[in-house]
Amino acid sequence: MSFNAVDHGMMARALQLAERGLWTTSPNPRVGCVLVQAGEIVGEGWHVQA
């Protein structure tokens, strides 16, 4: 499986979203999610609070 610049950009966005839960999700992991269809972001979110 290979990844392109768009894939890397979407992963970077998911990691940015995950950072929003830095102080509120312990002891659970921080999670960010980006839903993409045909190269367009159709949804995104993160684990807000434990």
23-50 confidence digits (pLDDT tens): 999 999 999 999 999 999 999 999 999 9
Domain count, the chain: 1
pLDDT value for 25: 95
pLDDT-based confidence at residue 4 (cuts at 50, 70, 90): very high
Residues 6+ apart with CB under 8 A from 35: 41, 42, 43, 44
Domain containing 29 equals 5-46
pLDDT value for 32: 98
